[in-house]
Each structure stands twice: as structure tokens, then as C-alpha cells.
Amino acid sequence: MSTLFVCVSCRREGDPSEPRPGARLFAALSQQAADLDIQPVECLSNCTRSCTVAVAAPGKWTYIVGNLDPEQNVDDVLQFARLHGASADGLTVWRERPVHVRKNTIARVPPMPTVKEPS
Ligand code: FES
């Protein structure tokens, strides 16, 4: 299972609404995804392209996805997190990803290398 980190601090420029859009995104995702590990975090350092999530799992590539709207992109995030969870290495097939994810992937980060114990 992949972990979905959701920035709950995200707010769009000029949007003073409370709860913040990031918190609304986290709440909406949490309500619809009992099968996923969803964790709130504060700031994924993608503030100018918020809202932001990161999808990660041990031994897999991590994806950062931005420009998410809590009212428009919940299904996109859930679909991508499930694709990531089902993949062997986190590298999902590009054309199977939701369009929003294809167009708003901010970065991907390779899995941590396995630490070799000294012999
Ligand atoms: S406040 Fe959400 S990425 Fe910085």
C-alpha cells in the first residue's frame, strides 16, 4: 500500500477560506479512501502550486503532484495513489494516470538505495 501525504497547510494566493484548501483536500480524501494510508503533513515546499500531495512507498519512486483543487481533483488523487500502490516500483503507466496528474506532476524522486551493512 502506498502512503498519500497531503499538505494541510496549502492555500491558494488570495484565498482566505477556512478550513484551508489543503485541509479540505485531506478531509475529502480521508472520507473516500479507507483502503489507503493518508497522512497529513505541513508544507511539501510546493506552496505556489498548491494544493499538493506526495505518493510514496518503500522501494518505490515518490511522486509530488500539485495544483490540486479540493473540490475537483479528489478522484484523480485517489486513482493515482491506487495505481502507485499496485505498481512494482511506483512508475505507473503514463497514459493510465489521470490527466490532472499527468499535467501537474511537480517531481518524482527515486527510491532510497538499500543500505549495505559493513562486512
Ligand atoms: S503550504 Fe502546502 S506545499 Fe507549502
Give tens-digit pLDDT for 59-82: 999 999 999 999 999 999 999 999
Residue range 13-34, pLDDT digits in tens: 888 889 999 999 999 999 998 8
Cell digits of residue 68: 490540486
Question: What is the rounded CA–CA span in Å between residue 14 and residue 62?
Answer: 30
**pLDDT confidence tier of residue 55, bands split at 50, 70 and 90:** very high
Q: Which atom of ligand 1 is nearest to the CA of 46?
A: 3
51 CA from centroid of ligand 1 (Å): 7
Tell me, what amino acid is at 117? E
Cell digits of residue 99: 490527466
Structural domains of the chain, ranges and CATH numbers in brackets: 3-109 (3.40.30.10)
**Ligand 1 site-directed mutation target among 5, 7, 41, 106, most atoms within 8 Å of CB:** 7
Ligand 1 shell residues, CB under 6 Å: 7, 9-10, 22, 43-47, 50, 52
